[in-house]
Structure 1
Amino acid sequence: MVGDETSAEEATRTDRATAIRLDGVTVNFEDVRALENVDLRVDDGEFVTVIGPSGCGKTTLLRTVGGLQDPTAGTVRVGRDSPDAARRDGEFGFVFQRHALLPWKSALANVVFLREMAGKSPDREAARDLLGTVGLAGFEESRPAELSGGMRQRVAIARALHLGASVLLMDEPFGELDELTREEMGVEVRRVWRDRNKTVLFVTHSVPEAVFLADRCVVMSDQPGEIAAVFDVELPRPRDESVYGTTAFQEQVARVRTALHEGYELR
């Protein structure tokens, strides 16, 4: 049954519209070139992970897609719009390593806060449902200090979803979590992604995490960041923690790790 689901998903991927497209994107900061000639396409509803050595421009790539950083050269499109237009229209939900929750607000109030700031009417019942979706039913009135690290990241994910964004840009969101919690959160994020039909671009330093989460995994070279390799991740869908123990998973990890080291050695 899983094989049938995988085949069906792969067949429909070729018919999907492009959600994100970068053509020849270069980003310079004074004397530092962060990205060089990056070409990348992310299809609607696809989960793409980005991995590379520290300082290779992964976060710059995410910020450029999200309209927070202008490219020095090249073009970025989000659907048919520029990143700035897509950001103004609320097409992006950002989830960062530091959750940036307001400590004096409850989990529920934090979820609706960004919609309020964007001038959109919050839906508190929908926000409650989202907290339930990410496993936080019963914690709606808890403040961040009363929640674990993983729970705070769940609130941040629910907050991004409550904006109604079609694209989630996630920058090391599990970086401060222990390994077991990271794995649990990976399962949770894939489930939410599948159920909510979002497009996800996810930056990580962890090769196993990059492989577990992805439809495709993008490997970047050392600075200036270029795309060294792109891998289709051929693992069953849906996935749970049992995937980590399979030979197929270990082989995928080994391929990505080899490309990562080769990309680093190019410099």
Structure 2
Amino acid sequence: MIRIMGDLILDGRVLLPHLALDCPPGRWTALMGPSGVGKSTLGRIVAGLPVAARLAGTVDVAGPVTLMGQQDQLLPWADALANVTIGARLRGQAPDRARSRALLADLGLAGLETRRPAQLSGGQRQRMALARTLIEDRPVVVLDEPFSALDAATRAQMQDLAARHLAGRTVILITHDPLEAARLCHAAFLLDARGTRPLPLPATPTPRALDDPQVLAAQTALFRSLMPCAA
């Protein structure tokens, strides 16, 4: 469970008033809204990372958190195996190289363990970043637009991989993509200067098929909800 209550404030100005977000355990929750409204800041607050803004309220998170962002932030001089195990090494722990290899293989990167990021495609780099996220084995995961820079086909593949590997985790997905939210999430909230508002999603298992009529209808409804924000 993740619960966020209060106002998000930056330089004395309220970015997000009257926050009331309940993200159920073991489910995916989408945070949507205009750029600059504070979605990524909320994600960093949930992950316990420093931010310029402050939350005048409370945030309750049931368990340790890991965050995967839009930029893969891979170490350019390190190979895939070293990038995936960076967290353990930074903590002074022995990296689980066998599990790292298994994760890379399961994500379609078998045989690429010694490749550096510059030798990989954009989709392969994001798979590597996903493996780095998964190996932390945290019960709560924040995904901050992790697939937005990918082409449509690769994005859909990454969505399916993430849904499969993060099943049963509590996930916050920050996204501008109505289709992504409609496919992957169990709940969604619109964040804007007026506060928070729940958005409708299908009550069917995820990940939902791209051509599922309920997904297409939800995509349209989400897009319409976002239109006033874009203006």
TM-score of the alignment, normalized to the shorter chain, above 0.5: yes
For this pair of structures, how many residues does the alignment match?
229
Displacement of 1:255 after TM fit? 1.7
Tell me if 1:126 matches 2:99.
Answer: yes
* 1:262 to 1:165, Cα distance in 2 relative to 1, 3 A: same
Partner of 1:59: 40
* 1:120 to 1:39, Cα distance in 2 relative to 1, 3 A: farther
Residue 48 of structure 1 contacts residue 201 of structure 1 at CA under 8 Å; is this kept in 2?
Answer: yes
Residue 58 of structure 1 contacts residue 225 of structure 1 at CA under 8 Å; is this kept in 2?
Answer: no
CA distance in 2, matches of 1:226, 1:264: 15
Query: Residue 136 of structure 1 is aligned with which of 109, 113, 129?
Result: 109
Q: Which amino acid aligns with 1:76?
A: V
* 1:177 to 1:237, Cα distance in 2 relative to 1, 3 A: closer
Q: Which structure has greater helix proportion?
A: 1
Partner of 2:177: 206
Residue 35 of structure 1 contacts residue 61 of structure 1 at CA under 8 Å; is this kept in 2?
Answer: no
Instruction: Give the unaligned 5+ runs of structure 1.
Output: 1-18, 80-85
SS in 1 for 2:84: helix
* 1:43 to 1:120, Cα distance in 2 relative to 1, 3 A: farther
Partner of 1:49: 30
Query: Residue 187 of structure 1 is aligned with which of 157, 160, 168?
Result: 160
SS in 1 for 2:59: strand
Partner of 1:97: 70
Query: Residue 233 of structure 1 is aligned with which of 187, 199, 202?
Result: 202
Displacement of 1:104 after TM fit? 1.0
Q: Once the two structures are superposed, what CA deviation does each residue of 1:178-229 show, in whole Å capped at 9, x if it has no partner? A: 11211111111111112xx3221111111111111111122222xx362122
CA distance in 1, matches of 2:198, 2:169: 24
Tell me if 1:23 matches 2:21.
Answer: no
Tell me if 1:218 matches 2:200.
Answer: no
The TM-score with structure 2 as length reference comes to 0.91
SS in 2 for 1:23: strand
Residue 170 of structure 1 contacts residue 201 of structure 1 at CA under 8 Å; is this kept in 2?
Answer: yes
Q: Which amino acid aligns with 1:74?
A: G
Residue 66 of structure 2 contacts residue 138 of structure 2 at CA under 8 Å; is this kept in 1?
Answer: yes
Partner of 2:127: 154
Residue 99 of structure 1 contacts residue 156 of structure 1 at CA under 8 Å; is this kept in 2?
Answer: yes
Partner of 1:39: 20
Query: Residue 56 of structure 2 is aligned with which of 54, 73, 81?
Result: 73
* 1:261 to 1:146, Cα distance in 2 relative to 1, 3 A: same
SS in 2 for 1:211: helix
CA distance in 1, matches of 2:2, 2:191: 17
Q: Once the two structures are superposed, what CA deviation does each residue of 1:16-65 show, in whole Å capped at 9, x if it has no partner? A: xxx211122x1212143222221111122111111111112111111121
Q: Which amino acid aligns with 2:4?
A: L
Q: Which amino acid aligns with 1:58?
A: K
The TM-score with structure 1 as length reference comes to 0.79
Q: Which amino acid aligns with 1:117?
A: L
CA distance in 1, matches of 2:230, 2:124: 35
CA distance in 2, matches of 1:219, 1:21: 15
Tell me if 1:258 matches 2:224.
Answer: yes
* 1:225 to 1:112, Cα distance in 2 relative to 1, 3 A: farther
Q: Once the two structures are superposed, what CA deviation does each residue of 1:55-82 show, in whole Å capped at 9, x if it has no partner? A: 1211111112112237331100112xxx
Partner of 1:169: 142
Moved over 6 A (4+): none
Displacement of 1:236 after TM fit? 4.0
* 1:261 to 1:150, Cα distance in 2 relative to 1, 3 A: same
Displacement of 1:263 after TM fit? 5.2
Residue 168 of structure 1 contacts residue 199 of structure 1 at CA under 8 Å; is this kept in 2?
Answer: yes
RMSD: 1.9
* 1:235 to 1:262, Cα distance in 2 relative to 1, 3 A: farther
Q: Which amino acid aligns with 2:178?
A: V
